[in-house]
């Protein structure tokens, strides 16, 4: 393939006119990249393509970062759910903030708000997203299996175990269970759970809903209980 020394700028992409083996011209594109420092490994550079979503948000959207205060954000979301919209979206802008998602949902349900969260597919920007719905009850199993998650829990193994129970089984014409319950303490365990829940959604091909609450009487060391249902 011979590259012709002529470049054409179209939109955000750099286009180069090339010729194939038959001498016919065609265009190849190269998207611009920029170098950023990730928050996962200090000092490590990672190049990625900036891809904004192609559609606008249908509902009010809140961005969660590692600097976000979950108490304050929960109060603002609660006011939004009460006054202007029954549905809001929460987007996690940094991987380090994933651990705050479950605590945000638990603080919402600590008050009078009854919130259910749905796991949304990621868009072009690659951000983890949840849709939070007020007064959307989920019919959960009466006695779901309980998984206790710690900071050292393997997220992939947890996702496999949960998927095995929630996945549709053709020979049974149903799933082995509709709901599992995850109990966890600490930000690292919360991050493990969020990663696992996304994997469960992909593995089962089911819509995944979460109802998250604080469990136990120790307010200084709250245990987060998340009911995960495949609807």
The two tokens of residue 148 are 């206790």
- Which residue numbers in the chain have pLDDT < 70? 1-50, 217-221
Which positions ≥6 away from 95 have C-beta within 8 Å? 38, 39, 40
Burial of 188 (C-beta count, 10 Å sphere; 0-12/13-18/19+) = middle
Note the pLDDT of residue 112: 77
Which positions ≥6 away from 170 have C-beta within 8 Å? none
Note the pLDDT of residue 42: 41
Which positions ≥6 away from 204 have C-beta within 8 Å? 163, 166, 167, 168, 230
8 Å CB contact between 88 and 55: no
Note the pLDDT of residue 23: 52
Note the pLDDT of residue 173: 83
pLDDT tens profile 55-85: 888 899 999 998 999 999 999 999 999 888 9
8 Å CB contact between 97 and 86: no
Domain ranges of the chain: 2-48, 65-230
Note the pLDDT of residue 16: 42
pLDDT tens profile 207-224: 999 999 998 766 556 789
**Cα dihedral 167, 169, 175, 176 sign:** negative
Class of domain 65-230: alpha beta
Alpha-carbon distance of 186 to 149, in angstroms, equals: 10
> What is the DSSP pairing of strand 45-48 with strand 61-64?
unpaired
Count Cα neighbours of 79 within 13 Å in the Cβ-side half-sphere. 6
């Amino acid at each position: 393939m011979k590259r012709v020394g002529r470049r054409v700028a179209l939109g955000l992409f750099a286009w180069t006119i090339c010729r194939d083996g038959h001498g016919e011209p065609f265009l190849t594109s190269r998207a611009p990249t920029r170098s950023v420092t990730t928050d996962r490994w200090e000092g490590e550079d990672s190049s990625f393509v900036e891809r904004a979503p192609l559609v606008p948000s249908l509902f009010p959207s809140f961005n969660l970062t590692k600097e976000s205060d979950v108490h304050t954000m929960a109060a603002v979301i609660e006011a939004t759910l009460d006054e202007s919209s029954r549905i809001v979206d929460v987007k996690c802008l940094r991987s380090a903030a994933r651990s705050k998602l479950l605590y945000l949902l638990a603080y919402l349900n600590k008050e009078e708000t009854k919130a259910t969260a749905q796991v949304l597919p990621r868009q072009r920007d690659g951000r983890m997203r949840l849709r939070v719905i007020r007064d959307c009850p989920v019919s959960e199993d009466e006695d779901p299996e309980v998984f206790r998650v710690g900071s050292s829990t393997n997220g992939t193994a947890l996702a496999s175990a949960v998927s095995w129970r929630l996945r549709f089984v053709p020979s049974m014409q149903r799933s082995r269970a509709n709901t599992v319950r995850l109990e966890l303490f600490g930000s690292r365990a919360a991050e493990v759970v969020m990663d696992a829940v996304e994997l469960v959604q992909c593995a089962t091909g089911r819509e995944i809903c979460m109802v998250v609450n604080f469990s136990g009487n120790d307010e200084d060391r709250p245990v987060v209980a998340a009911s995960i249902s495949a609807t």
